[in-house]
Structure 1
Amino acid sequence: MFRSRARAAKLTERQGGGEVRSVVLLLPGGFVRSRLRPLKIVEQGLQELAAELTERGCSDGIAVHLLHYRYAGWNGAAADTASDTRWALAELASRYGDVPVVLIGNSLGGRAAFWEAGHPAVVGVVGIAPWLPYGDLVEHLAGRRVLIIHGDRDRSQASAAKSLDYARRALAVVPDLARYEVPRGSHYLVKQADAVRALTTAFVLATLGTEPSPLANGGLRTPLPTRDTRAG
């Protein structure tokens, strides 16, 4: 009788050279529920960010990986995306040892990043239009650096209102948490991708101690300057 092989999560090949002194793990978006394979186009949306992080961080020993999930969806109590992220963190530790890790999650991947930010290797977490349902825990963020970027017109399941509520609750344990809103930004932030990528990269490098912090002290709705910033 033919039996299909069980799916397994997988890390992309390492980007970056030299001795590894830190790691950036990119977690792409997906769906609330789906047992299908992840869409390649969703992963491709993080490739330019991975390339910029690799270029800027190569001389500092930063290794960049993207996680291929088993499934395209979170899938309720199974929390498949978070489970795959836990596997990836264990795998990175086995490859590189005790090095600091920054998690970057987009949409669905944002929830996985924040869920797993309590891992002892994690020093920072970035959510780009993250899906952060009301009531998700925040206490484990203590001691981490946190950045959230969200379009102010995102009314999807991963809405800006939800990430704002999450950020307000997280302030109790992360007093210097930074949250930026992208003016006129929808969930996908395509037109504002350059500005989002620049801030994310600068934040990661600052978190890993290679560059000064780029963050402004403007509250939890700090406007992210972009070429698309217009009145209206």
Structure 2
Amino acid sequence: MFTRQERRPELSERQGAQEVRAVVLLLPGGSVKSHGRPWAFLEKGLRTLAARIAERGADAGVAVHLLRYRYRGWNDADTAADARWALAEIERRYGKVPVALVGNSLGGRAAFAVAGEPAVVSVTGVAPWLPEGEPVEHLAGRRVLILHGDKDRSTASAALSLAYAERAREITPRIQRCELPGDGHFLLKHADDCWTMTTDFVLATLTDAAPPAWASEGELQHR
């Protein structure tokens, strides 16, 4: 399956629980087309998130892994194939544990692409790249969070994620989309808020933790 330049996807070392009962899989950004190696700097923010989730979720059996793709680009759904590999690898290591997906930008598209896999209970897109026409039917039964800066005019625009969320709401009412005012694609002004909200959300979907106070299912705008 993975023959081009003999590269293979990898999972980072486990953070968090030693006795694993649930997993958060983090999917970093990249580019639209490239067979170059992934950019390490795009993992930086997700490493901050991984540490938060691992610390808060360890007692509940939550472990965290970050996926390193074979290639920098989406290409012909290479990134989604790597995400499916990661889900299979998680099952091989830990058994049939629930998984929460968190994807940033390109990784957001990958996360939503594989959200219909049986282990997945929730998916979070942080400034996700969700082109027009992306399928939503497989989100049935999943909890969904989308965080997006309202000034994002990149390929992964806020307008596209809003259109996606509006279609997805017809499939699952368990969806929130939160716009972060005045912020662009990299969410520099709201980074801490973004990681806190994501941590609250994924732990609520994987454990008995109460839903975060800001959450309102079915809401597509939050300021």
State the TM bucket, normalised to the shorter chain: over 0.9
Query: 2:202 aligned with 1:204, yes or no?
Result: yes
Would you say the 8 A contact 2:142–2:174 is kept in 1? no
Map of 2:161 onto structure 1:
163
Q: Aligned partners of 1:189 and 1:165: how far apart in 2? A: 20
**1:172-191 equivalences in 2 (<5 Å):** 172-191=170-189
- Cα deviation code 1:10-65 (max 9, x no counterpart): 00010013310000000000000111000110012211000000000011110100
TM-score normalised by L of structure 1: 0.92
The partner residue of 1:125 within 118, 123, 126 is 123
Map of 1:222 onto structure 2:
222
Map of 1:74 onto structure 2:
74
Pair 217,94 (structure 1): closer, same or farther in 2 beyond 3 Å: closer
Stretches of structure 2 that go unaligned for 5 or more consecutive residues are none
Q: Which amino acid is 2:103 matched to?
A: G
Give 1:218 shift. Answer: 7.7
Map of 1:8 onto structure 2:
8
Task: State percent identity of aligned pairs.
Answer: 60
- Cα deviation code 1:97-141 (max 9, x no counterpart): 010000000000000000000000000000000000010000000
Q: Which amino acid is 2:87 matched to?
A: L
Pair 178,18 (structure 1): closer, same or farther in 2 beyond 3 Å: same
Query: 2:52 aligned with 1:52, yes or no?
Result: yes
SS of 2:6 mapped into structure 1: coil
Give 1:221 shift. Answer: 1.4
SS of 2:122 mapped into structure 1: strand
Q: Aligned partners of 1:87 and 1:13: how far apart in 2? A: 16
The partner residue of 1:112 within 110, 113, 122 is 110
The ranges of structure 1 where at least 4 consecutive aligned residues each deviate by more than 4 angstroms after the TM superposition are none
Across the two proteins, how many residue pairs are aligned to each other? Answer: 218
TM-score normalised by L of structure 2: 0.95
Q: Aligned partners of 2:210 and 2:15: how far apart in 1? A: 23
